């Protein structure tokens, strides 16, 4: 996988701003998640997770589907 | 047609009885369907599915396999147990037991946002069923998960359905869609702890489904799963249309991931129908590459094209994006519809940020949201990837209950981006989309439910007192029977008999 000189396709920076995209919705990334967000959810997670993880995971057995 | 098209999405939910791994999955699945349908009362909760037009053994390549040579699990039009629950809802959806899973098949819609909306409505339906079972002292609890594997070798699907012109050569569909499907998982993957079908390999991978795909093209859906499924059951005029049945997607909870999954696929299909691709991006080893890409959340895995070039899956997605964007501006200039513009803008934005740092997409993509949670937990607890608690986080991410489902915990903290409002979803649980035949089906159920004996995607069958035979109203054209077409008619007809008479007189 090393040494590939393939030119990297990137957004067409050279073109005038996105001709096909008027009224761009705010990109979802605009509001990034922060470390504080992760901490907040991790503080909660112990109460949310089912107790006895090993047994619970083992007990989740499905039949195949489509 | 671009990002707009007649389409629908089906999800088989994981079903389990906490503490009782041996519980009968078919029985639980029936309980789920019945728990939801029974209280709807009258016939609305009982209208049966009409199997008449189903032909699951027809193959898009042009032949029909004989029933003898079919695996019994392919015979979906003749359920072993006729009592297996199978109902139509007033929002035009189908709720039924498929094999050993409860399944919600959305009504036909026209836009990616409406896919999101009626797919989310399906999550609400499952949640409601789960609550009713919990409230029934006679039944044991049943948990439902919007995921695609038990991590022990079993997988169950989330299928997209796209209406396509019959005249489009199927070979073109295979050629341009295969590399697209192999690479789109960087956007649509739902994330999985465990490698290999049985999940015994240690690590995190991008997709729930990838490891279960073993061949490039085929009719099967339950074994030897193909990247391109050839099921050809159009539920529409077969000479004009096909329904492309896509089985490779993961079940997404993130709304942006769902929007992009169907929106970008629609764009690619539009280009295939228009013969607009300027480059053949066929891959050297599609199936192996599918697995390799899924197994590398750093997105560095190289993908080798048949023409000798290689690049990452992300770069391959850029090539599709570039061509789609050029196609839309070439055909529509500044007049592209809003749905198409939104999909292109978001597609480009997500690809850019995935290239910078995938974590920048944690509000939009399931695999990233899940990985971020897992990494945080792993660091705090100092765990290896084979820890049971990490597998539990993977599983619980998909629990449909807001208090237990980790996706829902993220959503309630505003940590994932939502595209449709709570009110829009609640409404979609009962209301059909306005712009497809699902409107007619759903409204008939709501208005004349007493007299609807059965229905399917392309029919509504009435049982009218005093008339010997059942009256079958075909709805073969998915874009007729819209609100615009039939609202006045339905308002005018007070009873099902009035409606049938009015239709007969037309
Ligand atoms: N002609 C069509 N084109 C595209 N999608 C369709 C068409 N007819 C029905 N659908 C959608 O296809 C899905 C079919 O679901 P289901 O009955 O579970 O199919 P399957 O037989 O593939 O399991 C639904 O979501 C429905 O809205
Ligand atoms: Mg189905």
Q: Are B169 and B158 in contact (CB under 8 A)?
A: no
pLDDT above 90 (res B13): yes
Lowest-confidence segment of B21-30, B334-343, B467-476, B490-499 by average pLDDT: B467-476
| Closest CB from B21, B302, B388 relative to A53 | B388
Give residue for tokens 């099902």. Answer: B496
pLDDT above 70 (res B67): no
Shortest Cα–Cα distance, A8 to chain B (Å): 7
**Is ligand 1 within 6 A of the CB of residue B12?**
no
d(CA B466, CA B229): 45
What secondary structure does DSSP assign to B245-272, as a single string?
EE--PPPP-SHHHHHHHHHHHHHHHHHH
Look at B389 and A16; give whichever has higher pLDDT.
Answer: B389
Q: Are B13 and B101 in contact (CB under 8 A)?
A: yes
| Pairwise CB contact (< 8 Å): A65 & B333 | no
What average pLDDT does the segment B293-298 reach? 98
d(CA B200, CA B184): 25
Shortest Cα–Cα distance, B145 to chain A (Å): 10
d(CA B11, CA B149): 12
Lowest-confidence segment of A29-38, B170-179, B242-251, B338-347 by average pLDDT: A29-38
pLDDT band at B60 (very low <50, low <70, confident <90, very high): low
- For B387-396, what is each residue's pLDDT tens digit? 999 999 999 9
d(CA B503, CA A52): 60
Give residue for tokens 């499907």. Answer: B181
d(CA B506, CA B349): 50
What residues does B462 pair with on adjacent strands? B452, B471
**Is ligand 1 within 6 A of the CB of residue B10?**
yes
pLDDT of residue A6: 43
Lowest-confidence segment of B57-66, B78-87, B160-169 by average pLDDT: B57-66
What residues does B430 pair with on adjacent strands? none
β-strand pairing of B213-218 with B86-88: unpaired
pLDDT above 90 (res B1): no
Extract the tokens encoding B139.
């039944």
Q: Rounded to an integer, what is the distance from CA B172 to the centroid of its chain?
A: 23
pLDDT of residue B39: 75
Give residue for tokens 């069958």. Answer: B461
Look at A35 and B272; give whichever has higher pLDDT.
Answer: B272
What average pLDDT does the segment B403-425 reach? 97
d(CA B38, CA B33): 8
Which residues of B are part of the catalytic machinery? 98
Look at B57 and B242; give whichever has higher pLDDT.
Answer: B242
Give residue for tokens 């009035």. Answer: B498
d(CA B141, CA B454): 30
The CA-based diameter of chain B, rounded to the nearest angstrom, is 73
What average pLDDT does the segment B155-177 reach? 97
Q: Are B496 and B445 in contact (CB under 8 A)?
A: no
Site to probe by mutation for ligand 1, drawn from B11, B92, B98, B105 as the one with most ligand atoms within 8 Å of Cβ, is B105
pLDDT above 50 (res B213): yes
Distances (CA, A) of B398 to B143, B204, B276, B404: 10, 16, 38, 9
Q: Are B203 and B385 in contact (CB under 8 A)?
A: yes
Q: Rounded to an integer, what is the distance from CA B328 to the centroid of its chain?
A: 25
pLDDT band at B56 (very low <50, low <70, confident <90, very high): low
| Closest CB from A9, A57, A64 relative to B392 | A57
Q: Return the H-helix or E-strand segment holding B94.
A: strand B94-98
Q: Are B300 and B226 in contact (CB under 8 A)?
A: no
What DSSP character marks residue B360?
G
What is the residue-averaged pLDDT of chain B? 92
**Is ligand 1 within 6 A of the CB of residue B95?**
no
**Is ligand 1 within 6 A of the CB of residue B235?**
yes
pLDDT above 70 (res B357): yes
| Pairwise CB contact (< 8 Å): A61 & B363 | no
Q: Given the CA of residue B92, which atom of ligand 1 is nearest to it?
A: 27
């Amino acid at each position: 996988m090393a040494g590939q000189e393939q030119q990297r396709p990137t957004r067409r920076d050279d073109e005038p701003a996105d001709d096909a995209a008027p009224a761009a919705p705010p990109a979802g990334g605009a509001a990034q998640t922060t470390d504080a967000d992760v901490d907040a959810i991790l503080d909660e997670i112990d109460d949310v997770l089912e107790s006895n993880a090993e047994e619970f995971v083992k007990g989740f057995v499905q039949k195949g589907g489509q | 047609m671009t990002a707009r098209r007649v389409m629908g999405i089906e999800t088989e939910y994981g079903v389990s009885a906490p503490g009782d791994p041996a519980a009968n999955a078919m029985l639980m699945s029936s309980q789920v369907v019945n728990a939801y349908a029974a209280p709807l009362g009258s016939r609305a909760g009982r209208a049966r599915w009409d199997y008449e037009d189903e032909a699951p053994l027809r193959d898009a390549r042009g032949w029909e396999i004989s029933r003898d040579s079919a695996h019994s699990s392919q015979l979906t039009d003749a359920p072993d147990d006729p009592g297996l629950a199978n109902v139509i809802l007033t929002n035009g959806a189908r709720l039924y037991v498929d094999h050993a899973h409860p399944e919600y098949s959305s009504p036909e819609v026209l836009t990616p946002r409406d896919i999101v909306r009626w797919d989310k409505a399906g999550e609400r339906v499952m949640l409601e069923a789960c609550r009713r079972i919990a409230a029934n002292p006679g039944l044991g609890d049943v948990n439902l998960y919007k995921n695609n594997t038990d991590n022990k070798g079993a997988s169950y699907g989330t299928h997209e359905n796209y209406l396509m012109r019959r005249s489009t050569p199927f070979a073109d569909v295979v050629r341009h869609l295969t590399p697209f499907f192999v690479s789109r998982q960087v956007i649509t993957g739902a994330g999985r702890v465990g490698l290999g079908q049985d999940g015994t390999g240690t690590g995190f991978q991008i997709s729930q489904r990838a490891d279960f795909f073993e061949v490039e093209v085929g009719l099967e859906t339950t074994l030897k799963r193909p990247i391109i499924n050839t099921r050809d059951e159009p539920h529409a005029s077969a000479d004009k249309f096909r329904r492309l049945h896509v089985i490779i997607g993961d079940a997404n909870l993130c709304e942006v991931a769902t929007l992009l999954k169907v929106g970008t696929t629609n764009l690619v299909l539009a280009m295939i129908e228009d013969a607009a691709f300027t480059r053949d991006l066929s891959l050297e080893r599609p199936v192996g590459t599918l697995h390799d890409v899924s197994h590398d959340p750093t997105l560095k895995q190289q993908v080798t094209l048949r023409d000798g070039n290689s690049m990452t899956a992300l770069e391959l997605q850029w090539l599709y994006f570039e061509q789609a964007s050029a196609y839309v501006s070439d055909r529509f200039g500044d007049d592209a519809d809003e749905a198409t513009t939104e999909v292109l803008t978001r597609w480009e934005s997500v690809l850019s940020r995935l290239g910078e740092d995938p974590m920048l997409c944690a509000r939009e993509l399931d695999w990233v949201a899940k990985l971020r949670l897992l990494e945080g937990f792993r660091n705090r607890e100092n765990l290896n990837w084979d820890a049971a608690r990490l597998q539990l986080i993977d599983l619980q991410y998909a629990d449909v209950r807001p208090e237990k489902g980790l996706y829902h915990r993220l959503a309630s903290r505003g940590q994932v981006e939502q595209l449709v409002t709570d009110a829009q979803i609640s409404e979609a649980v009962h209301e059909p989309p306005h712009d497809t035949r699902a409107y007619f089906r759903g409204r008939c159920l709501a208005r004349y439910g007493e007299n609807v004996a059965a229905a399917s995607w392309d029919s509504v069958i009435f049982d009218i007192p005093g008339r010997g035979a059942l009256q079958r109203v075909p709805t073969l054209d998915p874009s007729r029977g819209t609100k615009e077409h039939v609202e006045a008619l339905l308002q005018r007809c007070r009873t099902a008999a009035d409606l049938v008479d009015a239709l007969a007189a037309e």
